[in-house]
Chain A
Amino acid sequence: MTQPAALTIDQTDSALVFAFSGHLDAGGIAGVWETACRRIKKTEGPALAIDLSGITYFDTAGAAFIAHLDRMAQGRNWEKTDITGLDPDSFSLLERIREKHSEPVQDTAPSGGALRTFVENKGRFLDDFLYDARTFIAFLGEIFWAFVSSLLHPGRIRWGETLRVAERAGANALPIVALISFIVGLVMAFQSAIPMKMFGAEIYVANLIGLAMVRELGPLMTAIVLAGRSASAFAAEIGTMKINEEIDALTVMGLEPVRFLILPRVIASTLMTPLLTIFAILVGILGGAVVVLSLGHPFVAYYNQVVGFVSWEDFVGGIIKCFVFGILIAATGCIRGYQTSQGPSAVGDAATRAVVSSIILIAVFDGIFSILYYALGV
Chain B
Amino acid sequence: MEDLSFDIRKGEIFVILGGSGCGKSTVLKHMIGLLPPISGRVLINEQDMVTATGKSRIRLLRQIGVAFQNSALFGSMTVLENITLPLKEYTLLPEDAVNTIARAKLGLVDLAGKGHLIPGELSGGMKKRAAIARAIALDPAIVFLDEPSAGLDPLTSAEIDLLIMDLARTLGITFVIVTHELESIFTIADTVIMLEKDTKGIIARGNPKDLKADPANAYAYQFFNRKPKRDKKP
Contacts and interface: CB of A to CB of B under 8 A. Distances in A.
Interface string B122-137: 0000000000000010
A229 interface: no
B108 A60 contact: yes
Given A60-B171, A100-B112, A342 B100 contact: no
Contacts of A136: none
Nearest to B122: A342
Interface residues of B, number: 37
Contacts of B92: 27, 30-31
A27 B91 contact: yes
Contacts of A43: none
A26 B101 contact: yes
B156 interface: no
Interface in A129-175: none
Contact of B76 (A64, A89, A96, A344): A344
Contact of A92 (B90, B115, B116, B170): B170
A346 B76 CA distance: 9
Nearest to B170: A96
B99 interface: yes
A30 B91 contact: yes
B101 A343 contact: no
A30 B97 contact: yes
A29 interface: yes
A105 B113 contact: yes
B104 A59 contact: no
Contacts of B76: 343-345
B105 A60 contact: yes
Interface string A43-75: 000000000000000011101110110000000
Given A65-B97, A107-B80, A96 B108 contact: yes
Contacts of B78: 107
Given A30-B91, A30-B93, A100-B112, A65 B100 contact: yes
Contact of B93 (A29, A93, A342): A29
A64 B170 contact: no
A100 B75 contact: no
B158 interface: no
B94 A60 contact: no
B208 interface: no
A102 interface: yes
A97 interface: yes
Given A101-B112, A102-B103, A342 B118 contact: yes
B100 A64 contact: yes
B171 A67 contact: no
Contacts of A60: 101, 104-105, 108, 136, 139, 171
A6 to B, nearest CB: 15
A64 B120 CA distance: 27
A104 interface: yes
Interface string B70-94: 0000111010100000010011111
Interface string B167-200: 0001110000000000000000000000000000
A202 interface: no
A33 interface: yes
B108 A33 contact: no
Contacts of A107: 78, 80, 99, 103, 113, 115-116
A296 B80 CA distance: 71
A33 B93 contact: yes
B138 interface: yes
A33 B105 contact: no
Contacts of B110: 100
B166 to A, nearest CB: 9
A67 B94 contact: no
Contacts of A30: 91-94, 97
B75 A343 contact: yes
Contact of A344 (B75, B91, B99, B104): B75
A153 B134 CA distance: 55
Interface of A: 25-27, 29-31, 33-34, 37, 59-61, 63-65, 67-68, 89, 92-93, 96-97, 100-109, 341-346
13 contacts: A26-B90, A26-B138, A33-B93, A59-B139, A60-B108, A60-B139, A61-B101, A92-B170, A101-B107, A102-B103, A102-B106, A106-B113, A107-B115
